[in-house]
C-alpha cells in the first residue's frame, strides 16, 4: 500500500478555501494515519516501543471504593468492554497517531464509551464534527459509508452537548497544526523506515 522507505511529508492546509471536502485531509492522499499504522506493523522495534508505552500508560486496572462506579467501569459499553479496555486502545492510538478519539453515547440513566480507530476519523473544517469512514482509500467510491458525529466542545466551562452521541478528540499541541496532533516520533520516520529495511 505504501512505500515505507519514503516517509510521507505531513502538513495541514493553510488555505481552507482550497479544500473541496467538508473534512480536513490528513497527509498525502488523506492517508497519513494508514501510513503510520503500516509502519508500526512492519518495524518490530518501533512496534515494541509503542506497545511498552501503551502498557505502562494503561496500567493494570481502574480501582474505586464507590460501588456504583465500580460496576460501571467493568462494563462501559454495549460491546462488554471495561474502562481499561477502552483506555488502552485510546493510549495506543495516541502514541501511534498523535490522536485518539472517544465516542460517548448517552442513554436514559447513563453513557456508553467507545474507542474510535484513529485511522477512520477525520476532522471537519468547521471543528464541530468528525467524519468517520471505514476505508479512506476507497472514500470516493464508497461515500455512502461515511458517518458524521458531533465533536464535544471544550470552548466554555459548560459542556456543549447537543446530541446523545458525540466524540472527544485527544491530541497535543503542534505548531502549524490546528486540526490534528502528531506522534512524538514524527521526526524519526526515516529512522523507523531504515529499521524496517534492515529487517527486510
Query: What string of H, E and C letters represents the secondary structure of 115-127?
Result: EECHHHEEEECCC
**Alpha carbons 162 and 170: distance in angstroms, whole number:** 20
C-alpha cell at 48: 515494541
What pTM, to 2 d.p., does this model score? 0.91
In angstroms, rounded to a whole number, what is the distance separating the alpha carbons of residues 134 and 119?
Answer: 8
DSSP, res 40: H
State the pLDDT confidence band at 156, using cuts at 50, 70 and 90: low
pLDDT in tens, 26-67: 997 899 999 999 999 988 889 999 999 999 999 999 999 999
In the prediction, which pLDDT does 190 show?
85
Question: Which residue in the block uniquely carries the three cell numbers 481502574?
Answer: 62
pLDDT, tens only, 71-121: 999 999 999 999 999 999 999 999 999 999 999 999 998 999 999 999 999
pLDDT-derived band at 11 (thresholds 50, 70, 90) equals confident
- Residue identified by cell 493494570 is 60
pLDDT tens digits along 113-148:
999 999 999 999 999 999 999 999 999 999 999 999
Among all chains, which residue has been given the C-alpha cell 515494541?
Answer: 48
Q: Which three cell numbers stand for residue 131?
A: 467524519
CA–CA separation, 54 and 88 (whole Å): 7
- The residue-averaged pLDDT of 149-153 equals 90
Amino acid at each position: 500500500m505504501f512505500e515505507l522507505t519514503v516517509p510521507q511529508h505531513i502538513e495541514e492546509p493553510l488555505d481552507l478555501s482550497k479544500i473541496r471536502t467538508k473534512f480536513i485531509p490528513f497527509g498525502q492522499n488523506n492517508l497519513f494515519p494508514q501510513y503510520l499504522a503500516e509502519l508500526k506493523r512492519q518495524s518490530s522495534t518501533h512496534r515494541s516501543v509503542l506497545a511498552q508505552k501503551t502498557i505502562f500508560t494503561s496500567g493494570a486496572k481502574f480501582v474505586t471504593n464507590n460501588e456504583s462506579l465500580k460496576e460501571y467501569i467493568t462494563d462501559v459499553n454495549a460491546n462488554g468492554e471495561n474502562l481499561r479496555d477502552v483506555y488502552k486502545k485510546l493510549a495506543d492510538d495516541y502514541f501511534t497517531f498523535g490522536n485518539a478519539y472517544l465516542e460517548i453515547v448517552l442513554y436514559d440513566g447513563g453513557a456508553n464509551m467507545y474507542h474510535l480507530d484513529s485511522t477512520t476519523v477525520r476532522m471537519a473544517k468547521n471543528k464541530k464534527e468528525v467524519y468517520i469512514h471505514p476505508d479512506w482509500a476507497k472514500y470516493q467510491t464508497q461515500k455512502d459509508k461515511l458517518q458524521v458525529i458531533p465533536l464535544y466542545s471544550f470552548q466554555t466551562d459548560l459542556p456543549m452537548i447537543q446530541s446523545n452521541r458525540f466524540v472527544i478528540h485527544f491530541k497535543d499541541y503542534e505548531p502549524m497544526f490546528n486540526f490534528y496532533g502528531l506522534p512524538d516520533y514524527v521526526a524519526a520516520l526515516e529512522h523507523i523506515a531504515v529499521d524496517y529495511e534492515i529487517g527486510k
